[in-house]
Amino acid sequence: QVQLVESGGGLVQAGGSLRLFCAASGRAFSGYIMGWVRQAPGEGREFGAAISGGNPRYVDSVKGRFTISRDNAKNTVDLQMNSLKPEDTAVYYCAARRASTTSYNYWRSYNYWGQGTQVTVSS
């Protein structure tokens, strides 16, 4: 069982930056794939980024702008978001799952979720 708590959302102008934080509690954090999933107003959830022990994965729309990182000693996973665009406006959820053959970017495969943090990018 993993409990996740996000923080760091807010309001920023287009072109600006924000850093999201996710703190996890529970055992064997290093064994989980950690992801960030977002939900824009009126839209369904969308995979954003994920990280396990290897290379991080990103949805095409955030590649080169977002960076996901994790610290297994601190049980945290961060999302650095640069060059933000109005279309990045969404609730961002931290999510976790065990390793499996399912692709990292299948957001429904994540079993544990935080409460979400709002990111609003103004034009």
Percent of the chain whose predicted confidence (pLDDT) is above 70: 100
How many helices (H) and strands (E) the chain has is answered by 0, 11
Task: Count CA atoms closer than 13 A to 50's CA, side-chain side.
Answer: 23
- DSSP β-ladder status, 10-13 and 117-122: parallel
CB atoms within 10 A of CB 31: 13
Quickly tell me which residue has 């080169």 as its tokens.
64
The predicted-structure confidence for 71-119, as pLDDT tens digits, reads as follows 999 999 999 999 999 999 999 999 999 988 888 899 999 999 999 999 9
**Pairwise pLDDT comparison (38 vs 101), residue with the higher score:** 38
State the Rg of the chain over Cα.
Answer: 13
Percent of the chain whose predicted confidence (pLDDT) is above 90: 85
- DSSP β-ladder status, 45-51 and 32-39: antiparallel
Using an 8 Å Cβ cutoff, are 47 and 60 in contact? no
Mean pLDDT of the chain: 95
Mean pLDDT, range 49-67, rounded to an integer: 94
Instruction: State the Cα–Cα distance between residues 77 and 71, nearest whole angstrom.
Output: 6
The predicted-structure confidence for 104-115, as pLDDT tens digits, reads as follows 899 999 999 999
Task: Count CA atoms closer than 13 A to 7's CA, side-chain side.
Answer: 4
